[in-house]
Structure 1
């Protein structure tokens, strides 16, 4: 209550009240050959001309934050489908943009293989472990923060399934976890954890697929409550 009463007085007194611009940046992630990759685009205008950056833009006067994020997906992936999009965090350090005070709302998107292949000519997929440094603005820190948050979600959400087709083998699911964590996992312990967890709630199908020279691997699917 006290804060709302003092705001008009501050404005009337000509206080240095920030009126920042707002942008939306989207951390687009996919798997390439078992490695977690991120889509970056080269800066065409100052500042940081020629440096790689996240896909993003200033929001338009008539669009919501999520609409702005969806616009970035359409712009850089042409016909995005089966993409998981989630608002992650807001970054607002005063010096993060040399032009003016800019606050960015960051989303992350998990992009399936089909959509990843449709990336625009200007964008390029880079391994999160081999970024083309230095990146524009504070985007390196944003990427590290996003990957850390994604890793933290593996144990209590179904986030990893968003990088898989509707039906998948346990080996494919383990590969996604290993790519996000950037380390190998014990096969037996991983399968026990996945199959006994109430969080993941997998359903075994009657279908199989060949994975190497061994017997066909059983395919699973997510519970219907997580499928959409």
Structure 2
């Protein structure tokens, strides 16, 4: 009916943050960047790096700023994509806070430095936080699991695995990325055949790397393809 008023329930003030799941392969193990919280809530617990979105700042700009503050790297040097938003009531004891999580992937990332509200920053293997051995602050354990599954799926259908490799790289370097992220061993010959036949995935540099044993390995750089054609499926 025209003129009828609509009754709204109480609206709580809310804030928006960004959280970053920054993954890299170190010592042939998948690592995530964590900070030790220096303030309450969850003082002393590890957490994903992140922070509040500033006035007049877009979500992507906030994620890029936090990434640079935590790693010293500009966003264009890494693979950075928005994962999803998290807004369950009670997820943050400080109040109604929504966070937008981002996934960042990169090779040989530097040793991080702690931000203003963190005691320490470190690279940590993801395993203990996936199996429940160790705990993350807030709902960051869920965010990490979601981000890892996104990364694993991305390796099937896109060329993002090359983002973990410092160029130039060998097929064996790339295979190890797949094995570490998927947490499965892969047949070297079958893997080589698939990735070298994928359209515009790898570009030969013409150079080779001397190995401890066997023939020198051919070196590649990432091609201009973004989607894997054909896809490289887990278990296939």
TM-score w.r.t. the length of structure 2 is: 0.84
Aligned to 1:152: 153
Match of 1:48 among 42, 56, 59: 42
Aligned to 1:163: 164
1:6-25 mapped onto 2 (5 Å cutoff): 9-10=5-6, 13-25=7-19
Deviations 1:13-61 (A, max 9, x none): 3522344211100111111111110000011111111000000111111
Greater alpha carbon shift after TM alignment, 188-197 vs 155-164: 188-197
Please tell me whether residue 30 in structure 1 is matched to residue 28 in structure 2.
no
Using the alignment, how far apart are the partners of 2:31 and 2:138 within structure 1? 20
Match of 2:110 among 93, 110, 117: 117
Match of 1:102 among 72, 91, 97: 97
Aligned Cα root-mean-square deviation (Å): 2.0
Using the alignment, how far apart are the partners of 1:88 and 1:82 within structure 2? 18
List structure 1 runs of 4+ shifted beyond 3 angstroms.
Answer: none
Contact 1:21 1:103 survives alignment (8 Å): yes
Using the alignment, how far apart are the partners of 2:214 and 2:5 within structure 1? 75
Match of 1:61 among 42, 45, 55: 55
Aligned to 1:74: 68
Match of 1:88 among 83, 86, 92: 83
Q: Gaps (5+ residues) in structure 2?
A: 115-119, 227-236
Using the alignment, how far apart are the partners of 2:33 and 2:181 within structure 1? 15
Using the alignment, how far apart are the partners of 2:185 and 2:167 within structure 1? 24
Contact 2:159 2:225 survives alignment (8 Å): no
Using the alignment, how far apart are the partners of 2:22 and 2:219 within structure 1? 27
Q: Gaps (5+ residues) in structure 1?
A: none
Deviations 1:123-150 (A, max 9, x none): 1000111237221000011101110111
Aligned to 1:217: 217
Name the count of aligned residue pairs.
Answer: 215
Using the alignment, how far apart are the partners of 1:91 and 1:177 within structure 2? 28
Deviation, structure 1 residue 205? 2.3
Greater alpha carbon shift after TM alignment, 47-56 vs 68-77: 68-77
Q: 1:15 to 1:118 in 2, by over 3 A?
A: same
Using the alignment, how far apart are the partners of 1:27 and 1:90 within structure 2? 13
Q: 1:9 to 1:168 in 2, by over 3 A?
A: farther
TM-score w.r.t. the length of structure 1 is: 0.87
Deviation, structure 1 residue 75? 1.4
